[in-house]
Amino acid sequence: MQKRKWFHGLATAALLTSVVLSGCSSSEGSAPSNTGGSEGGDAKKELGAIAFYSPETPDMTKQMGQAFEKLNPGSSVNVQYAGTNVLVNRMIAEKDNPMADIWYGGGGFLPFESAKDKGIITSYTPEAIKDWPEVQDGIKIRDKDWKWIGAEVFVLGFVYNTELVKPEDLPKTWDDLLDPKWKGKIQMPNPAASGTATLLVLSQLMEKGDEEGWKYFEKLVDQMSAIPDSGSAPTKAVAKGEALIGIGFDFMAYENKAKGEKVDFIVPEKTPIIVNPVSLVEGGPNPEGGKALIDYLLSKEGQQTLADWYHIPISKDVESKTPLTLEKVIPHAQELDVDWVVQNYDRVRNEWRQKFQ
pLDDT for residue 137 is more than 80: no
pLDDT for residue 138 is more than 80: no
pLDDT for residue 8 is more than 80: no
**Does residue 159 or residue 335 have the better pLDDT?**
159
- The whole-angstrom separation of Cα 114 and Cα 72 is 33
Instruction: Determine which of 4-8, 82-86, 126-130, 269-273 has the lowest per-residue pLDDT on average.
Output: 4-8
Map residue 30 onto helix, strand or coil: coil
CA angle 120, 298, 234 (to 5 degrees): 70
Highest mean pLDDT of the ranges 12-16, 33-37, 42-46, 80-84 = 80-84
Q: What was the pLDDT predicted at 139? A: 64
Q: What was the pLDDT predicted at 90? A: 97
- The whole-angstrom separation of Cα 99 and Cα 106 is 18
What is the per-residue pLDDT across 231-262, written as a single tens digit (0 to 9) for each? 899 999 999 999 999 999 999 999 999 999 99
Mean pLDDT on 36-51: 65
CB 117 within 8 A of CB 346: no
What is the per-residue pLDDT across 162-189, written as a single tens digit (0 to 9) for each? 999 999 999 999 999 999 999 999 999 9
Percent of the chain exceeding pLDDT 70 equals: 87
Q: What was the pLDDT predicted at 7? A: 45
- The answer to whether 22-153+274-319 and 155-272+334-356 have equal CATH topology is yes
Average pLDDT, the chain: 87
CB 166 within 8 A of CB 245: no
Report pTM: 0.82
Write phi, then psi, for 145 (nearest 5 degrees). -105, 15
Residue type, 11: A
Mean pLDDT on 207-233: 96
Instruction: Determine which of 34-43, 71-80, 147-156 has the lowest per-residue pLDDT on average.
Output: 34-43
In DSSP notation, 119-180 reads TSEE----GGGTT--SEETTEE-B-TTSS-EEEEEEEEEEEEETTTS-GGG---SSGGGGSG
CA angle 209, 139, 36 (to 5 degrees): 120
**pLDDT classification of 24: cutoffs 50, 70, 90:** low
Domain limits, the chain: 22-153+274-319, 155-272+334-356
**pLDDT classification of 338: cutoffs 50, 70, 90:** confident
Looking at domain 22-153+274-319, its CATH superfamily turns out to be Periplasmic binding protein-like II (3.40.190.10)
CB 294 within 8 A of CB 126: yes
Q: What was the pLDDT predicted at 37? A: 42
Residues 6 or more apart whose CB falls under 8 angstroms from that of 269 comprise 172, 173, 332
CB 49 within 8 A of CB 102: no
Mean pLDDT on 14-18: 43
Map residue 15 onto helix, strand or coil: helix
CB 201 within 8 A of CB 348: yes
CB 263 within 8 A of CB 159: yes
**pLDDT classification of 308: cutoffs 50, 70, 90:** very high
- The whole-angstrom separation of Cα 343 and Cα 329 is 28
Q: What was the pLDDT predicted at 12? A: 38
Looking at domain 155-272+334-356, its CATH superfamily turns out to be Periplasmic binding protein-like II (3.40.190.10)
**pLDDT classification of 135: cutoffs 50, 70, 90:** confident
Map residue 13 onto helix, strand or coil: helix
Q: What is the CA radius of gyration of the chain?
A: 20
- The whole-angstrom separation of Cα 29 and Cα 43 is 21
Q: What was the pLDDT predicted at 234? A: 97
**pLDDT classification of 49: cutoffs 50, 70, 90:** very high
- The whole-angstrom separation of Cα 198 and Cα 220 is 14
What is the per-residue pLDDT across 276-295, written as a single tens digit (0 to 9) for each? 999 999 999 999 999 999 99
- The whole-angstrom separation of Cα 127 and Cα 119 is 24
Percent of the chain exceeding pLDDT 90 equals: 72
